[in-house]
Chain A
Amino acid sequence: MSVLREALDHQPETKAFWSELAEGRFKLRHCRACERAHWYPRAICPHCASPETEWRPASGQGTIYSYSIARTTAEPFVIAYVTLAEGPTMMTNIVGSDFAEIAIGKPVEIAFGHQVEDGITLPVFRVV
């Protein structure tokens, strides 16, 4: 079992996120009390501490808040913070784009089907 699978098994509160994403649905955790979305997803709202949180469909749209091209690995890759249309900023990768296209402020969208170890699908983005 991979360390990532072990990590997911430790977090039953976010199990639905991963199964939905694998099916091509990107969901965000919202709070019914304060009506705000947050990241990373939690059972308890980090804004108002209400336990009344739920999954809602997300647009999958965002813009690059910051990024770096990691060059110490065999294959360089783009790590980024993307600010989602719904408000929160999340860590992710930008895939399928030339490094020259990557810039702060660039619009991006979720790229489904990005499987890694143990068949787990990660929420990554591509330049629109």
Chain B
Amino acid sequence: MSINGQAYIAGAYEHPLRRAPDKSLAQLHAEVALGALADAGLSKDDVDGYFCGGDVPGTGPFSMVDYLNLKVRHADSTNIGGASYILHVNHAAQAITAGKCDVALVTLAGRPRSEGVPKGGLKRADSPVQPDYAWETPFGMTILNVYAMCAMRHMHEFGTTSEQLAWVKVAASHHAQHNPNAMLRDLVTVDDVLNSTLVADPLHKLDCCIVSDGGGAVIVTRPEIARQLKRPLVKIRGAGEAVKHTAGGAIDLTYSAGRFSGAAAFAEAGLTPADVKYASVYDSFTITVIVQLEDLGFCAKGEGGRFVADGNLIAGVGRLPVNTDGGGLCNNHPFNRGGITKIIEAVRQLRGEAHPAVQVANCDIALAHGTGGMLGTRHGGATLIMERE
């Protein structure tokens, strides 16, 4: 059964803080939940489905459903890292289509900046029970150096350059200058990226996303309820998800799970990349954006470096505006997970509520895509295609 047209995003809210030392993790989740409900014109007692990832305190949905005092008849805590929330909107739409819930709440929140949680350059806190642990962690594997190996291979196979990687950050900074809540608002040049510290060849410090506190939430609901609310209608047209891994040693670092999740989402939506006016694309690192744009079909495999160069991702300048909020590279990356902010900025664009300096004209179709986990080992990909009705 297709979810195309069966569910709408009725509410979206991004926490304004990027440093939140005086708020608890549960409080941040609650604040974004209530923000999204207020945006939709609904109350917490309307919620009958709750969706969360691995960033909630406690086991799965238990503690947050308790803290918020919700009455849910459907819950899902599937965890595919930073892409979880894009997957959750897909699962929420499926649950709504199947009659399992009417108003679904999806939340993400975190305070890694205040708690000093390790950044990507430090060792991952993977579990020694994982069957893959002893074959990766002892070699000093980090999020940073695994993504760096993907960039190195992309350069080798396709001639991608550090300058091309830098253009992804330059575009993010052009957008972030207009976002008063963005953590980094200064314009950055290609030279600024190339002159920043080399942290894991070929990646420089400015190729890496920020670490911020905060969070976001979205509300998904059925068409009859969405039409009773006073907000612009953002219809879900299609979604896809996939898991990519090391395949018994058949490693290919040049593509992501987005190859499969994107194709599934476009097929369900009955649309092609040429229909997309705005794209939110997970930007944990600059290389992540290039690989995903290729996998989603915005350009051919290997052409991503050339595609992002010369401002092609900058609103009002390039062919495909990407991450007009400043993305994870400049705006917000709470709990080291950016999936929810990708959905929220796409909703702003479809509603015509993005900052006027970055608002895409006639933005009727938008895409949000995420890669969660490790691009170079195992990760989840989730794609969501939405339409302004």
Interface residues of A, Cβ cutoff 8 Å to B: 3-4, 6-8, 10-11, 14, 36-40, 42, 45-47, 65-73, 77, 79-81, 83-84, 87-93, 104, 116, 120, 122, 124
Contact = CB atoms under 8 A, between A and B. Distances in A.
A16 B197 CA distance: 42
Interface in B121-141: 121-122, 128-141
Contact of B134 (A14, A79, A88, A104): A14
B141 A40 contact: no
5 contacts: A4-B138, A39-B135, A70-B144, A79-B145, A89-B249
Contact of B200 (A46, A70, A89): A70
B152 A90 contact: no
Nearest to B202: A68
B269 interface: no
A122 B376 CA distance: 20
Contacts of A87: 249
Q: Mostly helix, strand, loop or mixed at chain A's interface?
A: mixed
Contacts of B248: 36, 38-39, 45-47, 88
Interface residues of B, number: 42
Contacts of A39: 135, 246, 248-249
A40 B133 CA distance: 10
In the A-B complex, the 5 residue pairs with the smallest Cβ-Cβ separation, listed nearest first, are A88-B249, A39-B249, A46-B248, A7-B128, A68-B148
Given A46-B247, A46-B248, A72-B121, A81 B253 contact: yes
Nearest to A92: B139
Contact of A104 (B131, B132, B138, B153): B153
Contacts of B131: 11, 40, 42
Contacts of A79: 139-141, 145-146, 149
| Residue among A37, A70, A90 having the largest count of chain B Cβ atoms under 10 Å | A70
Nearest to B132: A40
A64 to B, nearest CB: 10
A9 to B, nearest CB: 8
Given A14-B134, A40-B135, A116-B138, A67 B247 contact: no
Given A40-B135, A45-B248, A89-B249, 19 more contacts: A4-B137, A7-B133, A7-B137, A36-B248, A40-B134, A67-B149, A68-B145, A68-B149, A68-B152, A70-B142, A73-B140, A79-B140, A81-B376, A88-B249, A90-B249, A91-B139, A91-B377, A104-B153, A122-B138
B182 to A, nearest CB: 25
B92 to A, nearest CB: 33
Interface in B330-359: none
B128 A6 contact: yes
Given A68-B201, A70-B200, A81 B138 contact: no
Contacts of B132: 40
Contact of B249 (A11, A38, A66, A69): A38
B1 interface: no
Contacts of B209: none
Contacts of B251: 65, 81, 83, 89
| Residue among A89, A91, A93 having the largest count of chain B Cβ atoms under 10 Å | A91
B150 interface: yes
B187 interface: no
Contacts of A104: 152-153, 156
Given A46-B248, A79-B139, A66 B153 contact: yes
A81 B135 CA distance: 11
B250 interface: yes
Contacts of A66: 149-150, 152-153, 156, 253
A4 B201 contact: no
B195 to A, nearest CB: 15
A80 B149 contact: yes
A116 to B, nearest CB: 6
Contacts of B149: 66-68, 79-81
Nearest to A80: B149
Contacts of A122: 138-139
| Residue among A69, A80, A116, A124 having the largest count of chain B Cβ atoms under 10 Å | A69
Contacts of A92: 139
Contacts of A8: 134
A67 B141 contact: no
Contact of A93 (B121, B133, B140): B140
| Residue among B133, B138, B141, B377 having the largest count of chain A Cβ atoms under 10 Å | B138
A47 to B, nearest CB: 6
Contacts of B377: 91
A7 B284 CA distance: 28
A127 B145 CA distance: 20
Contacts of B144: 70, 72
